[in-house]
Amino acid sequence: MPPETTAAQPASAPPVLKIMPLGGCGEIGLNMTVVECGEDIVVIDCGQMFPEEDMLGIDLVIPDFGYLRENRHRIRGIALTHGHEDHIGALPYVLPDVRVPVYGTRLTLALVRDKLRESGLDTTTTFMETKPRLPIRMGNLTVEWIPVTHSIPDSTALAITTPAGVVIHSGDYKIDPHPVDGRLFDFYRFAEYGEKGVLALLADSTNVERPGNTTSESAIAPVLDQMIEDAERTVVVACFASALHRIQSVMNIAARRRKRVFVSGSSMESTIEIAAELGYLDIPRESFCPIEDLVNTPPEDRVILTTGSQGEPLSALSRMALDDHRQIRIEPGDLVILSSRIIPGNERAIFRMINHLFKRGARVLYERTAPVHASGHAHREEMKSLINLVRPTYFIPIHGEMRHLTAHRDLAIEMGIPPSRAILLENGQAWVYENGAATVQPLFQAGRTLVDGKGIGDVHRVVLRDRQHLAQDGMFIVILAIDRSSNRVVAGPEIITRGTVYVDENADLLNRCKEVILETINSSVEESRGEWTVMKTEVRRAVKNFLKREIRRFPVILPVVVEI
């Protein structure tokens, strides 16, 4: 008798895959992406952004973590690509609510620990150090860190293997054939994944408007060497604290030229200490000196490494420019090198600082006047190389403003990606892959959270609007003392104004405004005089119309009524 046979059971469909940017799609900075497959979530990066010009008084901008809070029980970890602030800076704000392990390379985690120390989170967070090519299982997702070249050591891309297919996230990268530290871009691993098949590539779009290839970091060293050799007095080199390749080059040059190196800026001091301890920075001890020794060193023998290349008001270089630094004074003939990119939005602050440095008699070189900076982000030819290596089925540009994302999508289409598979995502949208088909859906909460002092997310748009209003037109306060029994004005109106008119030169205008206020009150019906909420509205309207007619200005008007 033949054995019984059963009909083959259809294989169950893989769980739904979702890719959701919480930040970094539509802006420079704020990088954060959610990869969700079934019941498991991996968060890629957790970055911050510096406030834009219209965000008056705001210290920091971070992503809206609402979706992560709601789904915290499904998050298997936060996977970091590298240690820049726009990728790790928001961790102190999410980890108190979302207690999950943080994964990253050795230097990245050391910088994160240092950042979390102030809030005490360094002792309560689980840190998982990763190694290149050693995948880590996170629920039904497997994550592998792939070495790339960037402006900070230990930078990586991520290959995330899901039941639906492989997703590669480029992180921030360039293809530098001659990296200062000898750690090469891992062409082979990208090509291996490309051979096996990659479902989606998420790729950095920052420099898509720049043709050709990015300048190698090694090419900057000879330029700096010549500048330092030719300098007749003190050389000040300003760069990001995390630009360890640049810092290493300056230290090597100074040692070779028998000059002494001094460091100013707490973030740079801390980063250099961490990097040296871990072996990512080789400090020539014979030339590296404490800042206290500066006064005993001849100007021609000084090289100063400092922060503040973006014109930050309280940075070391800004203080030097204003002659407000405790230990360093810029003198005529000194050379100041801003060895960094001018980040869009920071131009005004940077050029204000540069102007002050020129007033001190310094010679100032920066990106637009000399080849003193090499970008850490890929140019178009390198972007093409990554697409060719990976050969993804779907392409999703990330890390950039909408103009960057659009141009990167168009480049991918040029490279043979079908237009229907080159996807533009904005924060708040989800790329959903289910049963072999992909759609874009508005699925989840996303946006920006503003940090103002100790307040996190408590600054409403109305508050920002009021700050802008005050900055543009000033404030006009009207104070009245009212007899409670008779509802008559017994004192005032007194007018206090800031930022609208100069009081000493506009006494006549203010007196006429007082007459308008009294006329408004006296002409109102008896009953309404007792309703001071109503009367405040009438006074505000009268003052607004008067100032509009007389001086065409629209200050914030605050009537204050004191009952006696």
Please say if 172 is a catalytic residue: no
Q: Over 50: is that where the pLDDT of 7 sits?
A: no
Q: Kindly state the average pLDDT of the residues 250-273.
A: 93
Q: What is the pLDDT of residue 507?
A: 76
Residues 444, 446: Cα–Cα separation, whole Å: 6
Q: Which residue has the higher pLDDT, 298 or 562?
A: 298
The pTM assigned to this predicted structure is 0.79
Q: What's the rounded mean pLDDT across residues 110-137?
A: 93
Mean pLDDT, rounded, of the chain: 86
> What are 359-376's pLDDT values in tens digits?
999 999 999 999 999 999
Q: pLDDT per residue over 378-391, tens digit each? A: 999 999 999 999 99
- Lay out the sheet containing 489-498: strands in order across: 489-498, 475-482, 556-563
pLDDT value, residue 453: 47
Question: Which amino acid, one-letter code, is at 485?
Answer: S
Which of 60-64, 423-427, 498-502, 519-523 has the lowest average pLDDT? 498-502
Least confident of 112-116, 171-175, 462-466: 462-466
Sequence-separated (6 or more) residues with CB below 8 Å from residue 199 = 17, 162, 164, 165, 166, 167, 392, 393, 394, 433
| Active-site residue (options: 377, 379, 404, 408) | 377
155-160 long-range contacts, Cβ below 8 Å, gap at least 24?
A: 155/81, 155/82, 156/81, 156/82, 156/105, 156/130, 156/132, 157/81, 157/190, 158/44, 158/79, 158/81, 159/135, 159/189, 159/193, 160/35, 160/42
Catalytic member of 204, 334, 379, 408: 204
- pLDDT for position 457: 46
What is the side-by-side order of every strand in the sheet holding 60-63?
Answer: 60-63, 448-452, 455-456
Verify whether residue 84 is a known catalytic residue: no
Question: Which has the minimum average pLDDT: 54-68, 100-114, 345-359, 365-379?
Answer: 54-68
pLDDT of 509: 79
What pLDDT score does 160 carry? 98
pLDDT > 70? residue 54: no
Which of 120, 110, 190 lies closest to 156 in space, CA to CA?
Answer: 190
What local confidence, expressed as pLDDT, does residue 470 receive?
59
Strand partners, 17: 37, 433
- Residue 538, amino acid: E
pLDDT at 231: 93
Is residue 267 within 8 Å of residue 226, measured between CB atoms?
Answer: no
What is the arrangement of strands in the sheet containing 302-306, beginning at the earlier edge strand?
Answer: 260-264, 302-306, 235-238, 335-338, 363-365
Domains present along the chain, CATH in parentheses: 17-212+375-456 (3.60.15.10), 217-365 (3.40.50.10710), 461-563 (3.10.20.580)
How far are the Cα atoms of 251, 259, 483, 510, 544 from residue 519, in angstroms, in the given order? 74, 76, 17, 14, 14
Task: Give mean pLDDT, residues 236-251.
Answer: 94
Which pLDDT score is estimated for 558?
A: 76
At residue 531 the predicted structure's pLDDT band, cuts being 50, 70 and 90, is low
How much is the pLDDT for 471? 60
- Given a cut of 80, whether residue 508 has pLDDT beyond it is no
Is the pLDDT confidence value at 13 over 50?
A: yes
What are the backbone dihedrals phi and psi of residue 253, each rounded to the nearest 5 degrees, phi first? Answer: -65, -45
Span 84-106, average pLDDT: 93
Q: What is the mean pLDDT of residues 202-208?
A: 97
pLDDT band at 168 (very low <50, low <70, confident <90, very high): very high
Rounded CA-CA distance 520/455 in Å is 40
* Residue 358 predicted with pLDDT over 90: yes
Which of 73, 74, 48 lies closest to 60 in space, CA to CA?
48
> Between the ranges 329-343, 344-358, 473-487, where is the mean pLDDT highest?
329-343
Lowest mean pLDDT across 66-75, 457-466, 527-536: 457-466
Is the pLDDT higher at 10 or at 373?
373
- What type of residue is 217? E
Q: Which residue has 């992503």 as its token pair?
A: 63
pLDDT above 70: percentage of residues in the chain:
85
Position 18 confidence tier, pLDDT thresholds 50, 70, 90: very high
Mean pLDDT, residues 142-162 taken together: 97
Q: In the structure encoding, which two tokens stand for residue 278, read together?
A: 């871990």
What is the band of 6 on the pLDDT scale with cuts at 50, 70, 90?
very low
Minimum mean pLDDT among 11-25, 53-67, 147-161: which range? 53-67
Q: Name which residue leads in pLDDT, 450 or 266.
A: 266
Structure tokens at 9: 């059971």
